[in-house]
Amino acid sequence: MHNNLDINVHHITRVEGHGNIVVNVKEGKIEKLQWQVPEAPRFFEAMVRGHSYQDIQTIVSRICGICSITHSLAATKAVEAALGIKVSEQADKLRILMHYSEQLQSHTLHVGYLAAPDFFGTPSVVPLVARAADAVKTIVKAHRIANGWSDLIAGRTTHPVTLIPGGLTRTPTEKQLRELQQTLKNAVPDLKKIAEVVLSVAGNVPKFERPTEYVSLKQTTPPTYTFYHGGITSNDNKGAALPIEKWHDVTNEYMVEQSTAKWAKWHRDAYAVGALARFNNNAELLSPMAKGAAKMFGLQKGCCNPYMNTVAQLVECFHIVETSIDLIDQLLTKGLKTEKVISTPKAGKGAGCVEAPRGILFHEYEFDKKGNCVAADICIPTNQNHANIQKDFEKLLPEILDQSEKDIRLKLEMLVRAYDPCISCSTHFLDVQFVR
């Protein structure tokens, strides 16, 4: 047991967007324990005001470089809800396919580049390449497949260009979809290899449990492990799903002193979103291979170990690939058509919701009769997880206080990483000093 402990994982150099872990223990008593997010407000909502309904998805795709397709899809769905625009079955399926590509991109990145170094005991992915070259190469290959998949359907790996209200500007050819399907079939052995590698170090996943509320989408018609359609549910909501328009009743956003980012709560004082939330609410609807992967890791519905979010992401990778292979079959069986999309502006207000890789995401817009945006409201998954991270800290620290300072720090950092918060994607990539 530490009598005195002072941990301050502090980010001091970034212009915008960072998170701090602060721990103060004095004479064996925890005096301060905080997950702080002193992030500069981004005001993206103000930025879309005045813009045409046709431009919203392009602007908001820049909110995040990891979840750009997801933001574009949520925005497009909200615009379509506001203006009463219908989408064809083909466009709907292609969008789901596009969305899956980003889920696979993000999940492989998270498992391979962010979580794996912890499991292998290396400080980052750079030294991991030397330590586990084959594993890293397999991860890179899977990530590369996901990127090529996004290129095909979204027109670009990041910041999609094919999405418009009412449909898509481009339909892939039958040949392209068949090639994609074959690539996904070929990727299955690689996913199995990744799962085996992660399983070999899964003993390093901390044993920690804290029951909480898990919030995600739920689709009942037809019953689907959904990332795209459905209503809002939680394990506290007795299986019922709220319509998307009621999302404010779920998030109940509020301000706290320790963070400039908003926090959220529904039935309890905090809730979690993300892969583990989706798994806990919908696990019985996973594809057969995904169920097999969950079994391999002993991941069961009701799991309340937040560190297992990474494993849930890996399980979802199998579901995404297996389901997409089937989705392509459905598209090809029906036959691809070139679709012309026409939409007309009108006044209206609407909400759109999809599952981002790191949890449920809400967009809401209001338009005037010319179709120009007059109000916008966005609630990202990371903000919905902040309170839950804090509550996890509060239960975790007393349980590990007898461990070394290094181990305590690592476990707190790993916990944050398990949620993969979106706290800094808008900053530039280089700060340099010239050495020659």
Partner 1 sequence: MTDQTHRKDVVVIGLGNPLLSDEGIGVHLIRKLSEHQDKFPSVEFIDAGTGGMNVLHLIANRKKAVIIDCVKMGKKPGTIKRFEPADVKTTKKMMHFSLHEADILRIIAISRQLGECPDQIVIFGIEPESLELGQNLSKTLSNGIDAYLDDICNELC
Smallest distance, Å, CB 109 to partner 1? 5
Count other Cβ atoms within 10 Å, centred on residue 430. Answer: 5
Residue type, 38: P
Q: Side chain identity at 224, as an amino acid letter?
A: T
The partner residues of 436 in beta bridges, in order of sequence, read none
**Is 111 or 286 the residue whose CB approaches partner 1 more closely?**
111
Please, are residues 134 and 125 in contact by the beta-carbon 8 Å criterion?
no
Residues 6+ apart with CB under 8 A from 402: 1, 2
Q: Which is nearer to partner 1, 79 or 187 (CB)?
A: 187
CB of 238 to partner 1, least distance (A): 34
Nearer to partner 1, 144 or 370 (CB): 144
Q: Which one of 11, 192, 193, 291 is in contact with partner 1 (CB under 8 A)?
A: 11
Which C-beta is closer to partner 1: that of 181 or that of 343? 181
- Applying the rule CB under 8 A, the residues between 247 and 286 that interact with partner 1 are none
**Residues 357-376 close enough to bind partner 1 by CB under 8 A:** none
237 binds partner 1 (CB under 8 A): no
Vertex 96: Cα angle to 95 and 97 (nearest 5): 90
9 interacts with partner 1 by CB under 8 A: yes
| Strand (E) or helix (H) holding 352 | strand 348-356
Nearer to partner 1, 2 or 71 (CB): 71
* Nearest CB to partner 1, comparing residues 4 and 176: 176
The first and second tokens of residue 195, run together, are 């799962």
CA separation for the pair 183, 220 (Å, rounded): 30
Judged by CB under 8 A, which stretch of 272-280, 283-291, 363-371, 420-428 contacts partner 1? Answer: 420-428
- Helices 405-419 and 381-400: crossing angle in degrees, nearest 10, is 160
Q: Judged by CB under 8 A, does residue 240 bind partner 1?
A: no
Element (H, E) at 175: helix 174-200
Q: How many residues bind partner 1 (CB under 8 A)?
A: 75
Q: Which of residues 17-76 bind partner 1 (CB under 8 A)?
A: 17-19, 42-44, 46-47, 59, 61-66, 68
| Minimal distance, residue 27 CB to partner 1, in Å | 30
**In the range 176-195, which residues lie near partner 1 by CB under 8 A?**
176, 179-180, 183
| Smallest separation (angstroms) from partner 1 to the CB of 42 | 7
Tell me if 287 sits within 8 A of 322, measured CB to CB.
Answer: yes
Question: Which range in 246-254, 257-265, 338-346, 418-426 contacts partner 1 by CB under 8 A?
Answer: 418-426
Q: Is 366 left (phi over 0), alpha (psi -120 to 50) or beta?
A: beta
Return the closest-CA partner of residue 298 out of 277, 287, 312. 312
Distances in whole angstroms, Cα of residue 157 to Cα of each of 63, 66, 110, 180: 15, 10, 17, 15
Residues within window 125-164 making contact with partner 1, judged by CB under 8 A:
125-126, 129-130, 133, 136-137, 140, 143-144, 147-149, 151-152, 156-159
Phi, psi of 254 (to 5 degrees): -150, 165
3-state secondary structure of 22: strand
The correct pick among 4, 8, 16, 38 for binding partner 1 (CB under 8 A) is 16
Whether the upstream peptide bond of residue 189 has omega within 30° of 0, thus cis, is no
CB of 162: closest distance to partner 1 in angstroms? 14
Q: Which of residues 88-127 bind partner 1 (CB under 8 A)?
A: 105-106, 109-110, 113-114, 117, 123-126
As measured in angstroms, the least distance from the Cβ of 179 to partner 1 is: 6
